[in-house]
Amino acid sequence: MALQLPDLPYEHDALAPYVSAETLGFHHDKHHQAYVTNANKLIAGTDLEAKSLEEIIAVAAADPAKKGLFNNAAQVWNHTFLWHSMKPNGGGAASGAIAKLIDRDFGSFDVFAEKFAAAAVAQFGSGWAWLVSNGDKLDIVTTANADTPIVRGLKPLLTVDVWEHAYYLDYQNRRPDYVKIFLDKLANWDFANANL
Ligand code: MN3
């Protein structure tokens, strides 16, 4: 059973003007699709074909000879998680259970937002910033390239993609502006609550 590209959970223009239809067209239809296609090529004819995406990622993470498979399979997972981390009319302060945990573990939502933005901006080169559950505590982590918290025993709650392909058409080199817009206008706290 080959891996499939999931549909976006909204239309390509649903996040405009903050993330344009053009960006989502390239990011989902081209980049995410390429990770799916490449991962499928690398598992074709092996026993990994019968495994779930999460199982494929775990196997590849444990085997340096499978670095190429890890990169593509993890990017399939990361991007599927990313689409749900954003929603139309999202952003602003968290609500529900996650809001209470953010207050408990970061002091306030504003402190959390400042630290999350700083981490996302400081990630050198390509990668991701994540809000995760680490045991019984929330934490902010960054991962480089395709790396993903699910191979570190962490439970992802929300993510922002800071690869240039995620923002360059709309923000060029202004990653801080893109990260601020993610927090102010896009972050899907319903999804983060559902992941708790
Ligand atoms: Mn991406």
Q: How far is the CA of 104 from the centre of ligand 1 (A)?
A: 31
What pLDDT, on a 0 to 100 scale, did the predictor assign at position 162?
Answer: 98
What pLDDT, on a 0 to 100 scale, did the predictor assign at position 21?
Answer: 98
SS3 content of the chain, % helix, strand, coil (to 5): 55, 15, 30
Right CATH number for 21-85 from 3.30.720.200, 1.20.1250.20, 3.40.190.290, 1.10.287.990? 1.10.287.990
What pLDDT, on a 0 to 100 scale, did the predictor assign at position 1?
Answer: 66
Average pLDDT over residues 1-9: 94
Q: How far is the CA of 160 from the centre of ligand 1 (A)?
A: 9
Average pLDDT over residues 33-56: 97
Q: How far is the CA of 184 from the centre of ligand 1 (A)?
A: 20
Please give the Cα distance from 179 to 160 (Å, whole number). 8
Tell me the pLDDT band of 108, cut-offs 50, 70 and 90. Answer: very high
Q: How far is the CA of 107 from the centre of ligand 1 (A)?
A: 30
What CATH number is given for 96-195 in this structure? 3.55.40.20
Domain ranges, ordered by start, for the chain = 21-85, 96-195
User: What percent of the chain has a predicted confidence (pLDDT) above 70?
Assistant: 99
Q: How far is the CA of 12 from the centre of ligand 1 (A)?
A: 15
Q: What is the mean pLDDT of the chain?
A: 97
Q: How far is the CA of 48 from the centre of ligand 1 (A)?
A: 24
Q: Which long-range contacts does 180-185 make (Cβ < 8 Å, 24+ apart)?
A: 180/117, 181/18, 181/91, 182/18, 182/86, 182/91, 182/120, 183/91, 183/113, 183/116, 183/117, 184/91, 184/92, 185/18, 185/90, 185/91, 185/92
pLDDT per residue over 67-105, tens digit each? 999 999 999 999 999 999 999 999 999 999 999 999 999
Residues whose CB is under 5 A from ligand 1 (ion)? Answer: 161, 163, 166
Q: How far is the CA of 116 from the centre of ligand 1 (A)?
A: 18
User: What percent of the chain has a predicted confidence (pLDDT) above 90?
Assistant: 99
Alpha-carbon distances of 36 from 3, 101, 171, rounded to whole Å: 6, 34, 26
